[in-house]
Amino acid sequence: MFTHVKPTVRHIVPENLQGRSLMKVVYVVLEPQYQSALSAAVRAINKKNPNLAIEISGYLIEELRSPENYEAFKRDVADANVFIASLIFIEDLAEKVVAAVEPLRDSLDVAVVFPSMPGVMRLNKMGTFSMAQLGQSKSAIGEFMKKRKEKSGSSFQDGMLKLLQTLPKVLKYLPIDKAQDARNFMLSFQYWLGGSQENLENFLLMLSQKYVFKGQEQLTFQEPVVYQDMGIWHPLAPSMFDDVKGYLNWYNARTDISSDLKDPLALCIGLVLQRTHLVTGDDAHYVAIVQEFEAMGARVIPIFAGGLDFSKPVETFFLEVGPKGLAPLPIVDAVVSLTGFALVGGPAKQDHPKAIETLKKLNCPYMVALPLVFQTTEEWENSDLGLHPIQVALQVAIPELDGAIEPIILSGRDGATGKAIALQDRVETISQRAMK
């Protein structure tokens, strides 16, 4: 086994019910960044909500390889009201999730599965709404699902983002009850993509009110706080930016950096980030590398995307439209992706020709650094075999097909909180290599 962290570190039980209704939740995810935000959301509800308390158990998908963990997972699902899953794209483990959850699906009050393999997606259950029904539906959502049935990764997640934007038009094709449940599924996706403690609190409150207690309790929730699909982020900026001009105006007005960094001819490094790390507050490794580049004398433009296709923000923010008839010119001297993923596509499906076409326009070095996903810092440091083989395949071998070079581990992972921990010596190495 490459990972020895017990899922029990994610198990939260309310200290005192005090007459409140108890909702039991189980989640399984690919990556750990949701752990701390979900845990904080549950603790906040348990502390301040007068009507609801939550018991939650969480698993990282790789932990289900352990027979002991898998048996615990099945016991937790059997006792749960709510099941949540996201990015379950490792085939043998997806089959284990389906085998554990499918026989118990009818006993769950609600099951919410975000982009995953088709078999896992069919576990979705939200009132009259289910992916299985949609696969046979003549509705707009049904047609969307049919087209995506054999697809996954960036095409599915980015397609879902587009569907969210056209939701009102889609819902008019469904009966009222199904429209409401379909809307709640799309709201769930917005809450999840939003990823903040506040969004995840309201996600859980919505599920409890609509599906677990169905109006029995006086439970209220707020609509999702929606973040922009792509943009530019900086740890010191007051907000995210949606264009380079606004970002550079703020950047050049900073008083904490030297005039050299404000020089348009200064070395400029483009960084590619995952939005989930930003909205969940799991961004310490991003902060560290931005600070390191600036300390070494480079300007930075850190961009992000909400889906898994990073080619659009790369072309939008790293290329400057030149005179009419001329190709856009790159404004960055090197690009470092901190996602660990291929430029176009997540853990399941990639579009390497599209990525290569985009990167050719930049015509500069392209590095992909990676955070530890399946191992804690200590597990990786103590392992004789090094990086987990699944991560080697997903985040070393696959990005190389885009033309990525020098896959250096950027950050570790805390076993108790799941949060990324910047590995300073490696942050320095990545920065030095990119600037050469």
- What number is the average pLDDT over the span 140-167? 51
Interaxial angle between packed helices 176-194 and 197-207, expressed in degrees from 0 to 180 and rounded to the nearest 10: 150
Domain 230-435 fold is: Rossmann fold (3.40.50)
pLDDT digits 0-9 by tens, 263-292: 999 999 999 999 999 999 999 999 999 999
* DSSP strand pairing (319-320 vs 110-113): unpaired
Question: What's the confidence (pLDDT) of residue 163?
Answer: 58
pLDDT digits 0-9 by tens, 249-271: 999 999 999 999 999 999 999 99
Question: What's the confidence (pLDDT) of residue 129?
Answer: 80
- pLDDT over 50 (residue 149): no
- What number is the average pLDDT over the span 101-118? 95
* DSSP strand pairing (329-330 vs 319-320): antiparallel
- What number is the average pLDDT over the span 347-371? 91
Higher pLDDT, 131 or 421: 421
Give CA–CA dist 421/12, Å, rounded: 23
Question: What's the confidence (pLDDT) of residue 137?
Answer: 44
What percent of the chain clears pLDDT 90, i.e. is strictly above it? 68
Q: What Å distances lie between residue 212 and 83, 130, 218, 237, 366, CA to CA?
A: 12, 16, 13, 40, 48
Residues in the chain: 436
Mention every residue, 6+ apart, whose C-beta is less than 8 A from residue 22: 14, 53, 54, 55
Q: What Å distances lie between residue 351 and 56, 73, 96, 153, 356, CA to CA?
A: 36, 34, 27, 10, 9
pLDDT digits 0-9 by tens, 24-83: 999 999 888 899 999 999 999 999 999 999 999 999 999 999 999 999 999 999 999 999
Band of pLDDT at residue 111, cut at 50, 70 and 90? very high
Sketch the domain layout of the chain as residue ranges.
7-212, 230-435
- CB-side neighbour CA atoms (13 Å) of 180: 8
Residue among 12, 165, 156, 168 at smallest CA distance from 76: 12
Question: What's the confidence (pLDDT) of residue 172?
Answer: 54
Q: How far apart are the first and last CA of the chain?
A: 38
- pLDDT over 70 (residue 106): yes
Question: What are the two backbone dihedrals, phi and then psi, of residue 4, each rounded to the nearest 5 degrees?
Answer: -120, 5
Question: What's the confidence (pLDDT) of residue 219?
Answer: 84
